[in-house]
Structure 1
Amino acid sequence: MKEIELKMQGEIKRLTNKTFKFDERIREGWFSAVYFLKTKEIVQEFFPDNIVTMQFFQKQNAVLCGTDEVIALIKTFAANPDELEISSLKDGDKISPFETVMTITGRYQDFGFLEGVIDGILSRRTSVATNVYNVVKAAALTGVQKPVIFMGDRDDHFTQQAGDGYAAYIGGATAQATHAMNEWWGKEGIGTMPHALIQLFNGDIVAACEAYIQKYPEDDLIALVDYNNDAITDALKAARAFGDTLRGVRVDTSRTMIDKYFVRNQHLLGTFDPRGVNAELIYALRKALDDEGFNHVQIVVSGGFTEERITRFEQGNVPVDMYGVGSSLLKISVSFTGDNVLLNGNHQAKEGRRYRPNPRLEKVE
């Protein structure tokens, strides 16, 4: 957890607008709610010199992300950006309910139309970072931090990968599935084999692994062993064939399937849910590998894992070495709100809202 803690202390540099590939239509208000655009026009005519302070907050304990992106957005698309005063927390900071994470002070018509876009950036990035952080924390319940791989490429539109991958990095994910997910922080995607590779070798896990290491001899070999719905049998086949070369096995059994191990051992059934990647299957897999001397082979699990499910596995000391997690990390669990709270330096805000100074905010130069 040390790396995450360093991020929480703000010991990383801000990203700049060189990183983000903004859509130029933002400048024209294409992504802004129409009432913001109308307000901009009205203010320009009736109150062109008024100065407002807009502050942003949310209502949970969370891990903040998206501030660098928002600051770059303002610097790129606001009118007269050098005349705006921005104060902000940093990506990776832990935040509390209703804590002010950013304030922007200046003429409303210069930046107000970006309010909804800013809310959306902060909401999505903070949601992903917080979801990942909670999963990473769950994967360390035994006192040993088990790696979490962010595998969300198939669960959302591809255009979200770079930002989601960065947010997952801020939250503590060890690795990402695609190159795009790593784009903003300078790494590359990782991964070994999908089910499609095994299918192309007629379901032969050994043949698929042999081709893989011939093509990518520098990679760690991790065999996907649930293709034939017989994870233990295929894991042993791979281990016997490749010995020390086999770094690990990944189990990705569908939640609608029961592994053939339980069909052969029906006396084990009746006290647990045997579908998908379950604890009993992983206990049995670990024992089968160890009994044949393959103690070095690690076990990676994926397929529908959530914070709650990982917590149950860790509390049960299920012998998992690494978790692959996807869709549960992309749920929007944090929603930000922007409010105008000061008008020309004096309190003026929607009833129930007020200016909340935060000594943790840093002025953005």
Structure 2
Amino acid sequence: MSKIKDGYYSAIYFLKTANILKNERPNDIVTMQFFQREENVILAGVDECVELLKTEASNPDILQIMALNDGDLIQPNEPVLKITGHYYQFGYLEGIIDGILARQTSIATNCHRILQVANNKPVIYMNDRSDYYYNQENDGYAAKVGGITNFVTTAQVAKLTNNYEPMGTVPHALIQAFNGDLIAALYAYQRFYPTDKLVALVDYNNDVITDTLKVATEFSNLYAVRIDTSQALVDKYFHGKEKQYPIGEINGVNKHLVSALRQALDQQGYRHIKIIVSSGFNVAKIRDFEKEGVPVDIYGIGQALAKINIGFTGDAVQLNGVDQAKFGRHNIVSNRLVKK
């Protein structure tokens, strides 16, 4: 028996309930529905839940499973999954199903909402550094459901079709290994990975514009530069100019720094070099950047995509075909559900 069927991942009260009903009410048929409470949510994880039921429920062939599909836009209190059968066949999976739906739907929705404000600009899914590594395969799938197509680990693309390849830039660690010499680090990178698009991480010395122009002069094939300045820092470009800007506006990766960098590149004839930004970006910050026309070409986002902010609830709502549920809950009729 698998760990799931053995109840290893199930709350003990579900297991005890299943045991009681198997012995006390073995012929009863229940319907359980799953829903959430947020508006305009991108559903993900329901396909995995259906597969879970078909492999880990008891006698799954006699269950009736009705569900929506991954990628569907859903609304508050809309059922996304309904299961009908003996409680002891599937009741112990309730918490697992809630968890799958909550995680994957949250990530898919986070990605969708970021893309909605990013003005059709590419977004790199950098969530590997924000969560437990075991989650990367399913998280990558959920991110793709939400519309993301750029990933940084092999695990994140493992469940995707169309042969996605992970992408990335030079990390700070490589620059550090060359005693802070960005040029030397990039030459080493290029020697080992000559077919990769060359992307320079230019905030190591907290002097983004100076280092960008050095790199652009040295490498005619430079594709992009990435700014990853900590919010705790103010780039050297602003030294002596602090009073020209409102307090807090020149910390980290900010609109003034990005605009100054774009202007410097353009003035030197490097209009083709793209600007990638990362560190602390979320829906609000990207919306602000896009509203003000900050010249970003690509966003790299991690932590904002990892937040689990959409919860699901499973309720038993019918008993032997008759409505029966806790106060405040009821069987919700939906013509969108399809048999699985």
1:116 corresponds in structure 2 to 95
- Residues 1:242 and 2:219 aligned together: yes
Aligned-residue offset at 1:200: 0.8
* Per-residue deviation, residues 156-180 of structure 1 (Å, max 9, x unmatched): 1111111111111111112112111
Aligned-residue offset at 1:267: 5.4
Say if 1:262 and 1:268, in contact at 8 Å, map to a contact too: no
Aligned-residue offset at 1:284: 0.2
Q: Which of 261, 275, 283 lines up with 2:259 in the alignment?
A: 283
CA distance in 2, matches of 1:192, 1:330: 21
Q: Which of 4, 23, 26 lines up with 2:4 in the alignment?
A: 26
Aligned-residue offset at 1:264: 5.1
Aligned-residue offset at 1:268: 3.3
1:46 corresponds in structure 2 to 24
Gap runs ≥5 in structure 1:
1-22
2:311 corresponds in structure 1 to 335
CA distance in 2, matches of 1:263, 1:98: 53
CA distance in 2, matches of 1:341, 1:76: 24
CA distance in 1, matches of 2:321, 2:275: 59
- Residues 1:151 and 2:129 aligned together: no
- SS of the residue aligned with 2:32? strand
RMSD: 1.2
1:170 corresponds in structure 2 to 145
1:346 corresponds in structure 2 to 322
Letter of the structure 2 residue corresponding to residue 358 of structure 1: S
- Residues 1:206 and 2:183 aligned together: yes
CA distance in 2, matches of 1:156, 1:99: 29
- Residues 1:191 and 2:165 aligned together: no
CA distance in 1, matches of 2:246, 2:53: 59
Letter of the structure 2 residue corresponding to residue 303 of structure 1: S
Letter of the structure 1 residue corresponding to residue 132 of structure 2: H
CA distance in 1, matches of 2:240, 2:218: 24
1:180 corresponds in structure 2 to 155
- SS of the residue aligned with 1:105? strand
- Residues 1:100 and 2:79 aligned together: yes
- SS of the residue aligned with 2:225? strand
Aligned-residue offset at 1:154: 1.1
* Per-residue deviation, residues 75-111 of structure 1 (Å, max 9, x unmatched): 1110001111111111110000001111011111000
Letter of the structure 2 residue corresponding to residue 241 of structure 1: E
2:291 corresponds in structure 1 to 315
TM (norm. structure 1) is 0.90
Identity %: 51
- SS of the residue aligned with 2:84? strand
1:59 corresponds in structure 2 to 37
TM (norm. structure 2) is 0.97
- Residues 1:125 and 2:100 aligned together: no
CA distance in 2, matches of 1:310, 1:24: 44
- Residues 1:362 and 2:331 aligned together: no
Aligned-residue offset at 1:135: 0.5
- SS of the residue aligned with 2:239? helix
Aligned-residue offset at 1:352: 0.9
* Per-residue deviation, residues 231-257 of structure 1 (Å, max 9, x unmatched): 1111111110112x1110000000101
Letter of the structure 2 residue corresponding to residue 160 of structure 1: N
* Per-residue deviation, residues 104-140 of structure 1 (Å, max 9, x unmatched): 1111100010001000100010001111110010101
Gap runs ≥5 in structure 2:
none
- Number of positions where the alignment pairs a residue of Structure 1 with one of Structure 2: 337
Letter of the structure 2 residue corresponding to residue 176 of structure 1: F
CA distance in 2, matches of 1:123, 1:272: 35
1:233 corresponds in structure 2 to 210
Which runs of at least 4 in structure 1 moved beyond 2 Å after TM superposition?
264-272
Letter of the structure 1 residue corresponding to residue 325 of structure 2: A
